Amino acid sequence: MARLLSRNIFQSFSDFGGCSALVRNVAVGREARWWSNEASPAVKVTAPRTSLNQPGLQTEEQLGLWYTLEQDIAKQLFGLGGIPKQFATQCKTFAETCLMIRKPALTTIDYIKKTNLALPPNKFILYGREGVGKSLSLVHITHFLSQDNWLLVHIPWAPRWRRGFKEITASATVPGRYDHPLDAVIWLQHFKSQNSQLLKTLQLETSEEYKWSRREVTEAGAPLIDIVELGISRARFASDCIMAVTTELKKHATHQRCKIAVVADGINTFFCLTSRYRLEDLTYLNPENFTIFQAFMQLFNNNWRNGVVVASVDSLANDGARRESYLPRYLLRQKVRSALILDGRH
């Protein structure tokens, strides 16, 4: 980047007609200053890049180097979320998405490669202070998972569904549950964009019939992509579609028809006690009543195989009152009565 910039500067200098105009403006009588390339060559700064753009092939030798994420892959994987906003602006400015190869991401990728898929899913939690690189490490790992033919269930920034939701409606199918019509549609589009190729090759099918309304029915044995497309077209059913998709994926994974990677940024938000949605009795809804939360939380159980969960715990994903520490146990363990605190452990 610096290299590109320095070239531009010298370009503009030569536009001044050999810098003679500048020299003339310098006071006569003093010895003239020369601003040309030859007299004082600029120090060319080159970013330490590597051409090894496949995360699966990167080793410890590439630690600290930047690799380029192709634009089309970046758009396909993270077009609807995943790359933090600030970093995305930088990528837009420089017209390229480059990630630094760092140890946490490499270690996790290494563990994922060595995972025993016959056991319940391994859960890899990235933790650390704010701004330390958790989200970007997840981007790196997601890129690897996508290249390694894992079916991605990617939650870009979970707290958005708890506190920045677009709309909440009461679920028509299950009383007491609440849907996210618009957010569910966006997620289904994201899921489709990430996994469309793989879904075509895997040809996963539904195991049971889903009746959405009197006229809309998805038969058993229909391709799974149908449910996804139905959810995208019908926002009313989108949350239930997500629930159906996740249940089906769990079954498929357990029967070894595919391997599923759940990637979640800010997973501790799933264990928060309140959301921003206010009910009629003026209390705040517990997010465990959200359909999509229930859909994804069933993937955090131990009752399926052939999967892996990679997540980050972020203090910003919690409410303000529970952000004192960045350590995972503190951030995840929220259902504790604070009335009795015998020591500072809670």
Partner 1 sequence: MLKLGGVTPRLYSQVLRLAASCNIHTTLSTFSELKAEENEEFRTLELRSKKFVRQPARVMKSHNVVPPRYKRQKVDQDWGNVWPAARTFHPASVPLPVRQGYPASGQVTPDKWGNAELMKIPNFLHLTPPVIKRQCEALKKFCTPWPSGIETAAEQEKYFPVMVSKSTYLHSSPTLRDQKARIVTLRVSLKSLDLDDHGRDKLLRLVKNRHDPTTDCLTIVADRCPLSQQNYDYCFYLLTVLYNESMKTEPWEHEKEVADRERYIWEGSPSQAALQAIIDSNEDSTPEEVIEEYKKVVIDLHNEGEDEPTLSRYRDSVMKLVGLA
Provide the minimum distance between the beta carbon of 324 and partner 1 in the complex, in angstroms, as a whole number: 12
Nearer to partner 1, 233 or 325 (CB): 325
* Residues 6 or more apart whose Cβ sits within 8 Å of residue 226: 206, 218
Residue 180 or 252 having the CB closest to partner 1: 252
Residue 292, CA distances (Å) to 138, 227, 298, 308 in order: 21, 15, 10, 19
The nearest distance, CB 114 to partner 1, in angstroms, is 6
Residue of 15, 129, 112, 2 lying closest to 66 (CA atoms): 2
Q: Between residues 240 and 314, which has the closer beta carbon with respect to partner 1?
A: 314
Which of 310, 286, 275 has the alpha carbon at shortest distance from 143?
Answer: 310
We find the least distance from the C-beta atom of residue 132 to partner 1, in angstroms, to be: 14
The residues binding partner 1 (CB under 8 A) are 111, 114-116, 118-120, 122, 302-303, 305, 325, 327-330, 335-337, 340, 342-345
Tokens 């996963």, residue located: 204
The least distance separating partner 1 from the CB of residue 332, rounded to whole angstroms, comes to 10
The nearest distance, CB 305 to partner 1, in angstroms, is: 7
Write out the DSSP string of 207-238: SS-EE-SSS-EE-TTSBHHHHHHHHHH-HHHH
Phi, psi of 64 (to 5 degrees): 90, -5
CB of 330 to partner 1, least distance (A): 6
Report yes or no: 45 and 3 within 8 Å, Cβ to Cβ. Answer: yes
CB nearer to partner 1: pick between 194 and 268: 268
* Least spacing, CB of residue 291 vs partner 1, in Å: 23
- For partner 1, give the closer residue by CB, 49 or 329: 329
Contacts of 152 (CB under 8 A, 6+ apart): 77, 142, 145, 146, 191, 194, 195, 261, 263
> CA geometry: angle at 173 spanning 168 and 176, to 5°?
60
Residue 25 or 116 having the CB closest to partner 1 = 116
Cα 84 to the center of its chain, rounded Å: 8
Q: If we measure between CA atoms, which residue out of 334, 315, 333 comes closest to residue 266? A: 315
Taking the C-alpha atoms of residue 289 and residue 177, their distance in angstroms, rounded to an integer, is 5
- In angstroms, what is the minimal distance from the CB of 103 to partner 1? 14
- Least Å from the CB of residue 106 to partner 1: 14
CB atoms within 10 A of CB 285: 16
- Token pair listed for 333: 């363990």
- Which CB atom, from 230 or from 272, has the smaller least distance to partner 1? 272
> How is residue 308 written in tokens?
């892996």
Nearer to partner 1 (CB atom), residue 11 or residue 303: 303
What is the separation of C-alpha 114 from the centre of its chain, rounded to a whole number of angstroms? 23
Q: Which two tokens stand for residue 215?
A: 């006229």
Please say which residue, 28 or 339, places its beta carbon nearer to partner 1: 339
